[in-house]
Amino acid sequence: MVCPSENAFIIEHLGCTDKCIDCEEKQVKQYENLVYKIAHSLKNTTNLPFDDLVQEGFIAVLEAHDTYKEGTSQSLFQYIGWMIRYRMQVV
């Protein structure tokens, strides 16, 4: 269940109150360049192929949108970047 403040946050950033496929596509598209940039910087430090790193990055974007808590000292963009890098390094 989404609380009212999170609901306002979702509407503000995505224009939708439901977790629909269109919203997830918007989330992924919005951070696509960041995912590719981080995957490119980590491709020589991990054992995963580049395409797998990118896939993990997109999964991290979706997870970050679900777990981000508004009002923290970290911006959403910083949090998503951290989640992408963490997920690519851990997997």
Kindly report the pTM of this predicted structure: 0.73
Contacts for 7 with CB less than 8 Å, ≥ 6 apart = 17
Q: Determine the Cα–Cα distance for residues 77 and 72; give it in Å rounded to an integer.
A: 12
* Residue 10 CA, distance from chain mean position: 14
Q: What is the DSSP letter of 47?
A: S
Q: Convert the pLDDT of each residue in 6-48 to its tens digit.
A: 445 544 555 554 567 777 788 788 999 999 999 999 998 988 9
Q: Convert the pLDDT of each residue in 35-82 to its tens digit.
A: 999 999 999 898 899 999 999 999 999 899 888 888 888 888 999 999
Q: Determine the Cα–Cα distance for residues 87 and 84; give it in Å rounded to an integer.
A: 5
Q: Determine the Cα–Cα distance for residues 45 and 23; give it in Å rounded to an integer.
A: 32
Contacts for 40 with CB less than 8 Å, ≥ 6 apart = 50
